[in-house]
Structure 1
Amino acid sequence: MGTFKIEGGHALKGEITPQGAKNEALQILCAVLLTEETVTIHNIPDILDVNKLIALLGSLGVETEKLGKGAYRFKAARVDLDYLQSAQFKEDGRGLRGSIMIVGPLLARYGMGYIPKPGGDKIGRRRLDTHFEGLIKLGARFRYNKEEYFYGVEAEKLHGTYMLLDEASVTGTANIVMAAVLAEGTTTIYNAACEPYLQQLCNMLNRMGAKISGVGSNLLTIEGVERLSGTTHTMLPDMIEIGSWIGLAAMTRSELTIKNVGWGSLGQIPNVFRKLGITIEKRDDDIYIPAHTDGYEIQSFIDGSILTIADAPWPGFTPDLLSIVLVVATQARGSVLIHQKMFESRLFFVDKLIDMGAKIILCDPHRATVIGHDFHSQLKATTMSSPDIRAGVSLLIAALSARGTSTIHNIEQIDRGYENIDERLRAIGARIERIA
């Protein structure tokens, strides 16, 4: 189990460039299974979860070739379907939640798709019903081995249909879309997720020959085609990492420039941080954040009531950044209510922040009230463990702002989502050391 040793309380300065988007990568990489032709992908982040998926594709028989930093060429001409029934696949697939999205492409192209119950962050119940209900509506037969937690769908032919999703699941929508592009007839998906990463997937599939309309809305219409061809695709910068660096700049009162952020795909993120009192300047496609030497003040609602920041499906505020917002609020002037609607266990890391001196009232598993210190009382260093990707980075930001030297264990959780984070932070002046 790896460890970070962090000497906090130092201002940072410089430029940092966000990695390619993790959540987009997991969808795009699964889509290479839809064609026997070559697919070239750029700006792939070098992180544990993505590298596990690339290795899983290789085990499936997909030819993978690394062309350079963040660039790969894939060719799924000969997929080993026997691997799907092997003990090794049940072990490999279980370690990565994103592996669920191989099911739709495999079902569409080969008439079968299997997956063990996938892992991922322990942030509450994350059901798979939307995925499989959508595939069943396309004509798949579903089976589930309770003893081995092994899911399967099979079909001789998929047929387009109308469906109203029970929730706007991003990965569920992606799985259904990837199955529907090769189905016979027209599929209509209402209450579809419409995140930028899903838009990227749909646009890539259209370049491959799919016929998807309504991209960017919650109503997708897909006219099935017989086959897809190869393409080249470049992934967006990771909006969650961009939000993390905004929070880092504010908490450490640092002057930072975040390069090439893709402003058009950031949605509510800049606005939410501005509501916390953080100055965010748009400079071409960069974000410039001045050093907040006088701190930052949380806005109230127009009627004077306490600001509430809650997550919601796109175009609402992403749940992946609520933990960052919570940490940033611990040093603001004023108070804020954080409402985590989508996952019931994501706020349980606040006890570690309370140990560091933060004033946080955990109201219930979904809500926390934060009373900011306005930097009058600095957080104090401590020893802690990273429970998941986003909470882990939030604790890292807290440690970088704290007085003294902190230790964070289980940093493999952070490495799952952030590429070479210690090296990149040292480049802008952070005092962070990785201990094996």
Structure 2
Amino acid sequence: MSFDAFEVHGGLPLSGNITPQGAKNEALQVLCATLLTTEPVTLSNLPNILDVNRLLDLLRGLGVKVEQKSPHSYQLQADAIDLGFFETPEFRRDASRIRGSVMLIAPLLARYGQAFLPQPGGDKIGRRRLDTHFVGLQKLGAHFDYESDKRQYSVTAPEGLKGTYLLMDEISVTGTANVVMAAVLATGTTQIYNAACEPYVQQLCRMLVQMGAKIEGIGSNLLTIEGVNELKGTEHRLLPDMIEIGSFIGLAAMTQSDITIKDARIDQLGIIPTAFERMGIKLDFEGDNIRIPQQDTYEIQTFIDGSIMTIYDAPWPGFTPDLMSIMLVIATQAKGSVLIHQKMFESRLFFVDKLIDMGAQIILCDPHRATVIGLGRKNQLRGIEMSSPDIRAGVALLIAALSAKGKSVIHNIHQIDRGYEQIDARLRALGARIERVEG
């Protein structure tokens, strides 16, 4: 029996404290980075989510010793890698299920001069090309080949990697992570310009420096890396997941709840709190906690000249694309209107048809833009049966369901489980009526 659906009874105010899990996007990067050394690496605050567990299984298959120290702490040691695992059906099957598997390439290439990867999976949110990864590795001296019949990539560097100047053709977080992991063991100096500088990449770089890498410019879009011969082990703690934090802010606003987000690392959230305040949501900062007090209404701000507010995504320190779905759903019950402009992915707004079925007033202008006319709580959303298309849209629909009148059923919730740890149990602790049912 497959419990791949949530049954949600909405319209209930929630209350209490909730602690965000470790950052999913950081977890996938630092797990792959453990392949860069033969010594033990201990990672703490690792989220227990489907994507992380799948990557851990891939690492085990490659011969990495994986020891769980506590529910969210693991020690990994990659001192006996089995490159033959690349040829197995298990590797091709499991690596194709998770997009984060693409970051296995660089550390294996740097240490062993070869790596293979089937075309990775992940969210269906539009074109997510891998050119940036492979072009960067080629400039470091790797040879690239794509076997179309096997839908498999191969990268080799029989003469080793050599430092160079790299101008990234797009500001890709995982692309930057891959090139950084390759460059730390390359011969000579590498400069990476137009590098992504998200907190996830900063955390990866800090961990690599602790392991003995030489990286300058962390937090900027220009990284200078002096290659070293080897790296050592380390201990590293992941940041709290800023996407979960934003999701909980949206949940509190939509359900008229009083919720406190504990240990939020506010200093690492960038403009995320400001963006929610522009939507009219009150935030109280108490130490490193964020309290969202109960609000009967919230009103979207306008620009200084009175024109309609536009929320758009951009590379860090701009607003993260992973919270655009949350911003759209909270706008449905706000006072006022907003233009949601999802620039990076052209299929991420296609879930709005479900919100329209729930009673929201949304005009989908094109694949990248949607105008939301806020209902100002005059008309409560109504529960419906729907399906989660990807991680972020799935949580946005879950938030809508928790605020809606009546019962909703959300299918395909393994998508949500890929990025949110035991979300149903944690929401029940706040007073939500949500159960897993046969999907």
1:170 to 170, 173, 184: 173
Q: TM-score, normalised by structure 2?
A: 0.99
SS at match of 1:125: coil
Q: Alignment length, in residue pairs?
A: 435
Confirm or deny that 1:275 pairs with 2:278. yes
Measure how far apart 1:87 and its partner are. 2.1
Question: Of 370, 373, 378, which aligns to 1:371?
Answer: 373
**2:25 counterpart of 1:23:** yes
- The CA deviation string for residues 29-78 of structure 1, in whole angstroms up to 9 with x for no partner, is 00000000000000000000000000100000000000011000000000
1:321-340, aligned counterparts within 5 Å?
321-340=323-342
1:144 & 1:371 partners in 2: Cα distance? 46
Alignment partner of 1:240 is 2:243: yes
2:192 aligned partner: 189
- 1:22 CA displacement: 0.2
SS at match of 2:68: strand
Partner in structure 2 of residue 228 of structure 1? 231
Matches within 5 A, 1:116-265: 116-156=118-158, 157-265=160-268
Would you say 1:36 and 2:5 are equivalent positions? no
Structure 1 counterpart of 2:375, one-letter code: H
Partner in structure 2 of residue 348 of structure 1: 350
Which one of the candidate residues 298, 301, 304 is aligned to 1:302? 304
Aligned pairs for 1:61-100 (under 5 A) are 61-100=63-102
Q: Helix, strand or coil for the counterpart of 2:109? A: helix
Task: Supply the distance in 1 between the matched residues of 2:49 and 2:105 (Cα, whole angstroms).
Answer: 22
| Percent of residue pairs identical | 66
Confirm whether residue 391 of structure 1 aligns to residue 393 of structure 2. yes
Following TM superposition, by how much is the alpha carbon of 1:401 offset from its aligned partner in structure 2, in angstroms? 0.2
**Residue aligned with 1:261, SS:** coil
Displacement over 3 Å in runs of 4+: none
1:45 is matched with 47
User: With structure 1 as the length reference, what TM-score do the two structures score?
Assistant: 0.99
Looking at structure 1, the residues matched to 338 and 150 of structure 2 have their Cα atoms a distance apart, in angstroms, of 44
* Structure 1: stretches of 5+ with no match in the other structure: none
The separation in 1 between residues aligned to 2:434 and 2:146, in whole angstroms, is 46
In structure 2, runs of 5+ residues without a counterpart are: none
How well do the aligned residues superpose, as a CA RMSD in angstroms?
0.5
Distance in 2 between residues matched to 1:244 and 1:26, nearest whole Å: 20
1:292 aligns with 2:287: no
Aligned residue number for residue 418 of structure 1: 420
- Alignment partner of 2:109 out of 88, 107, 111: 107
Aligned-partner Cα distance in 2 for 1:171–1:407: 34
Q: Secondary structure of 1:413's partner?
A: helix
Q: Equivalent residue for 2:360?
A: 358
Paired with 2:283 and 2:113, the residues of 1 have a C-alpha distance of 49
Q: 2:319 aligns with which of 304, 317, 326?
A: 317
Partner-residue secondary structure (3-state), 1:326:
helix
